[in-house]
Amino acid sequence: MSNSKLSITTPTLPRRLICMIYEALLLVAVELAAVSVFLLLTQNRQGPVYEHALQCTLFLVTAAYFIHFWTDSGHTLAMKTWRIKLVKPGYARLPIKVAAARYMLAWGWFLPALVASYALHLSRPQMGIAFALGMAAWAGTALLDKNGQFLHDKLLGTRLIALPKPVKTKTATTA
């Protein structure tokens, strides 16, 4: 099939959100490994400095995870499973600066709720509501774009595309 016959479609919003849930599960495993290494290296010391260092470590490990996959193949394991790829038109691979900027801008999913929780000293149930509202608002940005892209992708000129289902080949059986 020639490239001119391939249609570039945006994955549906529900598909992208389900992919994000799967991504969160995979990311928990990566972060648990990072926490284990951190606790071994710091000999499980406690205190504000170690708490902030752990938060920074998790932020950087998460950044490394996403930036690596986005610049290498254009998709993480969850994105590959759901046949979603991140591209920047005109580039064979996503440039590292663009991937890093996308990682930072994607914090728009969570940052408003984090700031509100800290500034307003929200209780846990209130924090949950703040996160749900913030994530719904960010997901809603895809409804405002003619191509259905999230705000961070619109700002960076990147886009998520749906990959076709793999073609199943019949294998010959011998008698």
Query: Does the residue 1 lie in any domain?
Result: no
Query: Does the residue 2 lie in any domain?
Result: no
Query: Does the residue 128 lie in any domain?
Result: yes
Expressed as residue numbers, the domain containing 136 is 8-162
Q: Hey, CA dihedral for 120, 123, 125, 131, is it positive or negative?
A: positive
Phi, psi of 23 (to 5 degrees): -60, -40
Enumerate the β-bridge partners of residue 86.
160
Q: What is the pLDDT of residues 113-163, one digit of tens each?
A: 999 999 999 999 999 999 999 999 999 999 999 999 999 999 999 999 999
Q: What is the pTM of this model?
A: 0.86
For residue 43, give Cα distances in angstroms to 39, 40, 53, 166, 169: 6, 5, 13, 47, 53
Q: Which amino acid is at 35?
A: V
Query: Does the residue 175 lie in any domain?
Result: no
Question: In the prediction, which pLDDT does 1 show?
Answer: 43
Enumerate the β-bridge partners of residue 162.
84
Q: How many domains does the chain have?
A: 1
Query: Does the residue 171 lie in any domain?
Result: no
The DSSP symbol for 163 reads P
Contacts of 26 (CB under 8 A, 6+ apart): 76, 77, 78
Query: Does the residue 59 lie in any domain?
Result: yes
Query: Does the residue 169 lie in any domain?
Result: no
3-state secondary structure of 153: helix
Query: Does the residue 23 lie in any domain?
Result: yes
3-state secondary structure of 164: coil
Tokens standing for residue 168? 């199943």
Q: What is the pLDDT of residues 55-65, one digit of tens each?
A: 999 999 999 99
